[in-house]
Structure 1
């Protein structure tokens, strides 16, 4: 199954790859914030190319860009996952 990509802006930014809105909420609560009752209207579907462009421009813990081969490998891994979230939450 092809994954879909979603952005959440508030209360904390996240870019998530998942199969459904329910899965997005689960991943968001696990990695970003355990806020109860995040609404479907707070979750925005985004095109794959938009998600890829955001992801390949991300940086590691040291502020360095990920090597493109690693970024592409991570992005195209078939499992649902969080792709981006605020560094201060790490």
Structure 2
């Protein structure tokens, strides 16, 4: 049983569900004034990342998105001929908060 719990924890951490402190990673899509897809443990952290790394003056138009939605958006922006799938998944699923996608006109 003990090994199974460790395997389950590793599985969850690998899939990006566990934020390392028992928190689930969440995904937030900001649409105005600049598009950004951000992963963070909570709304407050996501807004702080947006203001610090994308645009100081705004975080009004956003919504929480599912992991599957965020993964599809993230995957669609990568050219599979030039991006190793394992590296892309590692970036998406690690337990670090940050910007996954940003407006190309930024």
TM-score range, shorter chain: 0.7 to 0.9
- Structure 2 segments unaligned to the other structure (5+ residues): 1-22
Superposition RMSD in Å: 1.8
Q: How far 1:87 moved relative to its partner?
A: 2.7
Aligned mate of 2:50, from 9, 20, 28: 28
Provide the aligned length of Structure 1 versus Structure 2: 83
Residue 48 in structure 1 maps to residue 67 in structure 2: yes
State the 4+ residue runs in structure 1 displaced beyond 6 angstroms: none
- TM-score after normalising by structure 2: 0.69
Alignment of 1:1-90 (within 5 A): 1-36=23-58, 38-39=59-60, 42-59=61-78, 66-89=83-106
Distance 1:12 1:65 in 2: 26
- Structure 1 segments unaligned to the other structure (5+ residues): none
Distance 1:56 1:20 in 2: 22
